Amino acid sequence: VKLDDYEVRVLINGLIQQHRSYDAETNGQIDALALRLCDIAEAMKPGRKKKISFEPVETRVIRHCLMEWRNREIQAKRHGAVDAINELLIRFTR
């Protein structure tokens, strides 16, 4: 998946927001993925896209977290956030 530094940081935020909402195994996967993405984000140049490879289990966790986060933002009527989350979700459902 090709993401720029902003999208990686939005994804990290989404994972962190969903953290502790699941069982211990899923929370552990979220932690590991968020840490890996933090390392990637730190090394990225602003505004540049980077192709990031994800394991199937990571992709599943990301999709699940993004869906849950999007649903919470819809309920809170934060449409700008919903649009940004939808853009990320599209990248992980192809």
CB 50 within 8 A of CB 44: yes
Give pTM, 2 decimals: 0.87
Q: Look up the domain containing 50 and give its range.
A: 2-92
- Overall average pLDDT of the 44-53 stretch: 93
Give the total number of structural domains in the chain: 1
Question: Could you tell me the pLDDT band of residue 75, with boundaries at 50, 70 and 90?
Answer: very high
Give the torsion through C-alpha atoms of 63, 36, 74, 85, to 10 deg. Answer: -80
